[in-house]
Amino acid sequence: MSDRILEKVQILADAAKYDVSCSSSGSKRQNHNKGLGNASDGICHTYTEDGRCVSLLKILLTNFCIYDCAYCVTRKSNDIKRAAFTVQEVVDLTINFYRRNYIEGLFLSSGIFKNADYTMERLVSVAKKLRLEHKFNGYIHLKSIPGASDELMHEAGLYADRLSVNIEMPTEKGLKLLAPDKDRKDMIQPMNYLKEAIILHTDEKRLLKTSPIFAPAGQTTQMIIGATQETDKEIMYAADRFYKGFNLKRVYYSGYVPISNDKRLPGLDTGVPMVRENRLYQTDWLMRFYGFKVQEILNDFNPHLDLDIDPKLSWALRNLSLFPLDINKADLQLILRVPGIGVQSAQKIVAARKFHKLNWDHLTKIGIALNKAKYFIVCNSREIFQKDFSATKIKQFILSGSSSKYIKHNTEQLALF
Amino acid sequence: MITTIIYEGSWLSFLTVVFEIYERKLGAVNILKNNKAQINIFGVPLLIGADPPKAKRVIQGLKAKLTTEGLKNLFSCFLSEIEGIENDMLSFIRLVFENEKSVETAYGYPEVLRLSKIGRMVYREKHRMEAFVRFQLTQDDIYYSSIEPDFNVIPLITNHFKKRYADQKWIIYDLKREYGIYYDLVEVNEIYFDFKNDYQSVKDEKIFKDDEILYQVLWQDYFKHINIASRKNTKLHLKHVPKRYWKNLVEKF
Ligand code: SF4
């Protein structure tokens, strides 16, 4: 018996790993019944060798699937070993891993067997069993199966903390090309249902404290990057629409890992576009935490993000007329826009300047990346780095990692060729 | 002249030290922990133990001037057990009492910045331990875990584990500091093993439940298979899971 379960874990973890989301945050579920577990703010219990957070038992219920999406290892036509857990097996694994403090909870997804409702029903019954029979208050993330009925989505919302539908392709065109038998409408429908239901339950909860919690950690989605030809602009505009249209908590960007020699896709020898993926995440952060509008970062003049510098620096170099900022006077919202200053440092600057006028030394100690920031700010010091340099020059300085006069000559010369 | 103060080492006794310094109007002091005190001390050191009413008055004074976060941070710094931390904490406390306004975020003062940094280090270790504790189920139904944290974070993680694992008995034992906590389904108490005898038996596999090994192997396999080889990033991996923690992590056994 133990061999069989070992093999299932291997196969079904392998198949689940391309879903990048592993977050267990956003829920405040308490251990109210002296049962097992509570939601935390997203503890990563370990990290894989590729450096990704392991917070949840992320696994497929089964990798049997009736669809044939070209970008997916689980696709029907792929010649791989198939396996399926029973509902009880997933429940036992989750409980036993959780009790040993390996995980924060479960992220259960599945290939689609028979039909959408049949699959969704199984996912829901795992969550239901955990909650009702095992008094489990840890985190549960369920995949919403495209095309699942509203009734099942409702039940899912009652037991899960978070739900997600992976939109996979940033544009409808991309989806048509790689997953011709899938319909974008089917993906949107459960998302839409949940959006409305979450709003409804939040209102209800405000009026009546005892009303049940419903998907407290909201919805997320994932897009695969680099499998089709979309521009960064198309990707981030799609993300922006999802954030706004469906109140999504997160959009994940997953660099396409080549898994097939299908002609429609990048070949097996192409690398994973990890830098691009990182730049997209940075853009996403700028939109969510730094007060940027997506149009400021990506537009028809700049449909792609620079790969060699981060998007905030790119933006600042295109808008040099707004700088330098006086760090001792500028509003927090503006300080947040300075390259090399993160949210925490910006807040610290605003707090600390009430006591002292800040100089370069203070700023270094507060922990800002001075090598970038110094070209965009002035502070309480005679030393000024921003000397009306051109954008190209600042970029050169920053990339060469130094502004010493010796290197200055070199980069100028290099730029001639 | 510098007065050397040797104190017992507990949080309460440190607060008592602060009380005495103000009470006796001492100027320059050097505060040393009992077990760290060296023989080559000039003059006669002042020995101070815990005096709860005095400690309480210091706490009340601090509460009036600091936010809960600020006070927590001070306690975290104390748990760092970094050599000389008591002196840094004292100069911070002096700054707090001298100023009308709250100095908590006046990062221009070196002691404020230093304590905020150390506090953050300890806090990170607390988080790490909440993540890295790995329980193993013993025959007598206790979930047991050994830890060896850089700082003395058990006082900071007790509540987290008590809330989370309310329906199972567990022990978290700090091998470096030779004490642990035990939850018996009702409350959490400190425990001390008689090392040579008790700890040997803890390491003995026979004390674990039969399927304990099965779950460990399942977890190791899961860990291996969730990895994407073509995205390998050893530097990042080691940054998040430094090698010194591996010996207590099941997936790294
Ligand atoms: S439906 Fe889902 S699991 Fe099935 S092939 Fe498409 S993406 Fe993969």
pLDDT digits (tens, 9 = 90+) for B63-77: 999 999 999 999 999
Mean pLDDT of B6-30: 93
| Residue A75 CB–ligand 1 contact under 6 Å | yes
Question: Among A20, A33, A46, which would you mutate to test the B interface (most chain B Cβ atoms within 10 Å of its Cβ)?
Answer: A46
Q: Do B166 and A365 touch (CB under 8 A)?
A: no
The closest-lying atom of ligand 1 relative to the alpha carbon of residue A168 is 7
Q: Is B135 on the interface with A (CB under 8 A)?
A: yes
Give pLDDT, residue B163: 95
State the distance from the centre of ligand 1 to the C-alpha of A153, rounded, in angstroms: 19
Q: Which pair of structure tokens corresponds to residue A319?
A: 């808008």
Nearest alpha carbon to residue B217 among B143, B150, B136: B136
Lowest mean pLDDT among A11-25, B43-57, B160-174: A11-25
Q: Which of B218, B224, B234, B237 to mutate to test the interface with A (most CBs of A within 10 A)?
A: B218
Say if residue B182's pLDDT is above 90.
yes
pLDDT at A1 over 70: no
Task: Provide mean pLDDT across the span A293-320.
Answer: 95
For position A409, what pLDDT does the model report? 39
Residue A22 CB burial class (10 angstroms; 0-12, 13-18, ≥19): buried
pLDDT at A40: 77
Produce one character per residue of A320-353: b if its CB has 16 or more CB atoms within 10 Å, e if not. Answer: beebbbebbebeeebbbbbbbbbeebbebbeebb
A65 lines ligand 1 (CB under 6 A): yes
Buried b (16+ CB within 10 A) or exposed e, B46-66: bebebbeebbebbbebbeebb
Is the beta carbon of A338 within 6 A of some atom in ligand 1? Answer: no
Domain boundaries, chain A: 3-220, 311-415
Q: Which tokens is A21 given?
A: 């989301």
Chain-centroid distance of CA A4 in Å reads 33
d(CA A35, CA A137): 7
Binned at pLDDT 50, 70 and 90, residue A403 comes out as very low
Q: Give the nearest partner residue to B164 out of A37, A59, A97, using CB atoms.
A: A37
Answer whether B103 sits within 8 Å of A355, measured CB to CB.
yes
Relative to beta strand A139-143, strand A105-109 is parallel
Indicate the DSSP class of residue B2: P
Q: Tell me what pLDDT residue A33 has.
A: 87
Provide the pLDDT confidence category of residue B151 given band limits of 50, 70 and 90: very high
Q: Which of residues 61-100 of A touch B (CB under 8 A)?
A: 93, 96-97, 99-100
- For residues A160 and A27, give the distance between their C-alpha atoms in angstroms, rounded to a whole number: 10
Instruction: Give, for A116, the enclosing helix (H) or strand (E).
Output: helix A116-133
- Dump pLDDT digits (tens) for A264-275: 999 888 888 989
Interval between CA A74 and ligand 1 midpoint (Å): 6
Rounded Cα distance, A173 and A178, in Å = 9
Tell me how far apart the alpha carbons of residues A102 and A123 are, in angstroms, rounded to a whole number. Answer: 22
Does the pLDDT at position B9 exceed 60?
A: yes
Give the nearest partner residue to B240 out of A51, A93, A355, using CB atoms.
A51
Of A101, A255, A356, the CB nearest to B134: A101
Whether the ω angle into residue A324 lies within 30 degrees of 0, i.e. cis, is: yes
Q: Which residues of A touch B234 (CB under 8 A)?
A: 49
**Smallest Cα–Cα separation from B4: which of B23, B36, B95?**
B36
Residue B190 scores a pLDDT above 80: yes
Q: Does B189 touch chain A (CB under 8 A)?
A: no
Query: So where are chain B's domains?
Result: 3-125, 133-252
Distance (Å) from CA A11 to ligand 1 centroid: 15
Q: Is residue A89 exposed (0-12), middle (13-18) or buried (19+ Cβ within 10 Å)?
A: middle
Q: What is the pLDDT of residues A24-64, one digit of tens each?
A: 888 888 888 889 999 877 899 999 888 888 999 999 999 99
B54, B20 contact by CB (below 8 A): yes
pLDDT digits (tens, 9 = 90+) for A369-393: 999 999 999 998 888 777 778 888 8
Tell me what pLDDT residue A259 has: 86
**What does pTM read for this prediction?**
0.87
Amino acid at A236: M
User: CB of B206 within 8 Å of any CB in chain A?
Assistant: no
Mutate which of A44, A48, A362 to test chain B, going by most B C-beta atoms within 10 A? Answer: A48
Which tens digit of pLDDT belongs to each residue from B131-149? 999 999 999 999 999 999 9
Retrieve residue A234's tokens.
């198309």
- Put simply, the answer to whether B222 touches A271 (Cβ < 8 Å) is no
Residues in chain A: 417
Mean pLDDT within A160-164: 95
Q: Is A51 touching B (CB cutoff 8 A)?
A: yes
CB atoms < 10 A from the CB of B130, how many? 18
Q: Which numbered atom of ligand 1 lies nearest the CA of A65? A: 4
CATH code: domain A3-220 is: 3.20.20
Dihedral in degrees, nearest 10, Cα atoms A86, A87, A93, A96? -140
Judge whether A276 is closer than 8 Å to chain B, CB to CB.
Answer: no
* Residue A100 to residue B160, Cβ atoms within 8 A: no
Q: Do A14 and B225 touch (CB under 8 A)?
A: yes
Nearest CA to ligand 1 atom 3: A111
A230-263 pLDDT, tens per residue?
999 999 999 999 999 999 999 999 999 888 888 8
Position A102 confidence tier, pLDDT thresholds 50, 70, 90: very high
Candidates A281, A285, A324, A318; CA nearest to A299 is A318
A111 C-beta closer than 6 A to ligand 1? yes
Residue with tokens 């954030």: A243
Q: How far is A18 from chain B (nearest CA, A)?
A: 8
Q: Is the CB of residue B249 less than 8 Å away from at least one CB of chain A?
A: yes
Distance of alpha carbon B18 from alpha carbon A413, whole angstroms:
62
Average pLDDT over chain B, rounded to whole?
90
**Mean pLDDT within B20-44:** 80
Task: Note the pLDDT of residue A155.
Answer: 95
CB atoms within 10 A of CB B1: 7
Round to whole Å and give the CA distance between A283 and A294: 8
Confidence of residue B252 (pLDDT cuts 50, 70, 90): confident
Cα A310 from chain centroid (whole Å): 17
Per-residue pLDDT, B40: 57
Of the ranges A196-200, A404-408, B54-58, the best mean pLDDT one? B54-58
Q: What is the pLDDT of residues B194-234, one digit of tens each?
A: 765 565 555 565 788 889 999 999 999 999 998 888 788 88
In this structure, the residue with its CA closest to atom 2 of ligand 1 is A111
